[in-house]
Chains A and B, each alone.
Chain A
Amino acid sequence: MRGRLVGLLGSLVLLVVAGACSRSKEGAQQAGGSDAGGAQAAARVKLALNWVPEPEFGGFYAARDQGAFKQHGLEVEILGGGAGVPVLQMVATGQVEFGIVGGDELLTARARGVDLIPLFAVYQTSPQAIMAHASRGAKNIQDVLSSGTIALEPGLPYAAFLKKKYGFDKVKVVPYDGGVAQFVTNKDFAQQCFITSEPIAARKQGAEPVVFLVADEGFNPYTAVVATRRELWKTQPERVKRFVAAVREGWRAYLDNPAPANTVMAKLNTTLDAETFAAAAQAQKPLIETEETRTRGLGSMSRERWETLGRQLVELGLIEKAPVVDEFLLPEFTQAPGKTSP
């Protein structure tokens, strides 16, 4: 009897281990044979994305496949994400060195005692938006919220922001399911979106959406922020700086010519076709490269923006006290090396 129990336990352990192994193998496959035999002394690090490979992450794939990471002595494994992948926790517990999170997520985590630091903000203007059918004639988000149904992810900070600003008493709020099927079939249906993603998909399926940026309403967190934990910054600042430099070069390359990275990502994410990849890469350009990044460098972040976001999250009751910006925003990442501030 006991022997059997031990056997059972043993096989359970084996199962778990096998599961873990196959998962990491999957991850490696997703990373897509990135010069494993390249620079011998390259440091291996992992970057966890918070969504499936999309133009949103184009610069990271460009950095990996066009040599920027390698030149900086890094071998980076990119882990594709999806709904419910706890990137923040993965970075916080050290399962991965770097992860992509939202600016609001990062501040919320900090307020809860998780010492994460932001390194590079892909989107200077948040691509988060609300889309509705053009046939409804809405001129702004307030109009959209005055009737029908809207799909929003429960707990989304900008949903709380819009609720506070306009109220949700005239609109039915339902959970966002990540797709556009309901939108396409229901003329009174509106939903959250990334301006670079769902509207393009909806248009492909014959819908005619209008899109309103939440940033224009006054809530504009840095989005697609590369974060790491303080521990890594303290022990290996050079490695972190090299990573950021390579990411910046990757994004430069992707903005100049998104085609090669798009081809790589299209193989990993077959739900989008080449045309959609190209359209999304084009649509997101002005959100990534702005007046400010021309002087301070791609991905740079400002104190004021982080301060505003902290204050807004407190006003929305999502955190009790705004984290002190100087405790987490390092001068190294407010400006690219070699750029002079205006």
Chain B
Amino acid sequence: MKALRDALAPLAALVILLALWETVARVFSFNPMVLPPPSTIGLEASRSAGSLLSGALSTGRSALVGFGLSTGVGVLAAIILSSSRVLERALYPYALFLQMVPIIAIAPVLVVWFGHGARAVAVSSFIVSVFPVIANTHTGMRSVDPALRDMFRLYGARRVATLWKLELPASLPHLFTGLRVASGLSVVGAIVGEWVAGVVEGDSGLGILVLVANRQGNTALVFAAVLAASALGLLLFGAVSLTGERMLRRWHPSASGS
């Protein structure tokens, strides 16, 4: 019942927004190539459901691999950075560098390294989404309660035990914040990757579909493909949020709602 009530506000906002859009597009009779009304986009989406679905599967797969890499590499990098002040000072600027990489500019290099296809696309997704995982996990591990750290030291806990039993659990809320940001970014990274390093025939993703639709002046399909990409991002975001809530529910205030 409560869930229903929570969903009501955004749902109402959506309905109003769509109605407004439809009205504006029709009243001012914009050409559908410039601004297609939602009804046209819906029709086009159902007409092209097949290519939207196969595109979403392809892009989703690359984004998922990129996101998985970001999670693994990101946490590992955070552990390394947190293990010593010297390492942190030496390496953190370069981790930051990843954040600054203009992916569209480096994508041609990915083609040179990995060839066109799913691998290069997944790497593009990884590069775009890894930094929030590193930064947030790192912050989490750095902000462990000093009293608890003292206690671990007092009891002579080994480095690995401190990491496994104290630092990692304590950084979970931060980690999941990073993962939530990374989930959306991984889809963005995959789409941009496809533009340069994807394949046009066969296993082609939503990014290619956007280009095709745009070239053919089918703006409604562009919108439909963009919405499908957003839905992918939301799906990943939802899955991460849900997992995070499950894992944190029992002990962390950010998930228990109090």
Contact = CB atoms under 8 A, between A and B. Distances in A.
A112 B211 CA distance: 18
A149 B198 CA distance: 12
Given A113-B31, A175-B196, A154 B111 contact: no
A175 B124 CA distance: 16
A155 B214 contact: yes
B73 interface: no
Given A154-B208, A175-B211, A177-B196, A108 B31 contact: no
A153 B215 contact: yes
A280 to B, nearest CB: 24
Contacts of A173: 199-202
A318 interface: yes
Contact of A175 (B34, B198, B202): B198
Contacts of A157: 216
Chain A CB count within 10 A is highest, among B33, B194, B195, for: B33
A175 B110 CA distance: 14
B217 A88 contact: yes
A109 interface: yes
A112 B116 contact: no
A109 B196 contact: no
Interface in B177-212: 194-202, 204, 208, 211-212
Interface in A151-171: 152-157, 159, 163, 168
Q: How large is the interface on B (under 10, 10 to 19, 20 to 34, 35 or more residues)?
A: 20 to 34
A92 B116 contact: no
B199 A155 contact: no
A134 interface: no
B38 interface: no
A172 B199 contact: yes
B213 interface: yes
B55 to A, nearest CB: 11
B42 interface: no
Contacts of A153: 211, 215
A206 B111 CA distance: 22
Given A114-B31, A114-B33, A182-B111, A172 B116 contact: yes
B212 A154 contact: yes
B111 A155 contact: no
B195 A175 contact: yes
B32 interface: yes
A163 B212 CA distance: 15
Nearest to B215: A155
Given A112-B217, A149-B116, A173-B199, A89 B34 contact: yes
A24 B82 CA distance: 51
Contacts of A93: 31, 34
Contacts of B169: none
Contact of B201 (A92, A112, A114, A168): A168
B217 A108 contact: yes
A324 interface: no
A112 B199 contact: no
A152 B200 contact: yes
A155 B34 contact: no
A174 interface: yes
A159 B215 CA distance: 12
Contacts of B216: 108, 155, 157, 318
B244 interface: no
B159 to A, nearest CB: 48
Nearest to A93: B34
A57 B195 CA distance: 28
A174 B116 contact: yes
A174 B111 CA distance: 10
Chain B CB count within 10 A is highest, among A149, A153, A175, A182, for: A175
Interface in B210-249: 211-218
B121 to A, nearest CB: 11
A208 interface: no
B198 A105 contact: no
A149 B208 CA distance: 17
Contacts of B217: 88, 105, 108-109, 112, 114
Interface of A: 88-89, 92-93, 105, 108-109, 112-114, 149, 152-157, 159, 163, 168, 172-175, 177, 181-182, 318
29 contacts: A88-B217, A89-B34, A92-B34, A105-B217, A108-B216, A108-B217, A112-B32, A112-B217, A112-B218, A113-B31, A152-B200, A153-B211, A154-B200, A154-B211, A155-B212, A155-B213, A155-B214, A155-B216, A159-B200, A168-B201, A172-B116, A173-B199, A173-B200, A173-B202, A174-B197, A175-B194, A175-B198, A175-B200, A175-B211
Interface of B: 31-34, 108, 111, 116, 194-202, 204, 208, 211-218
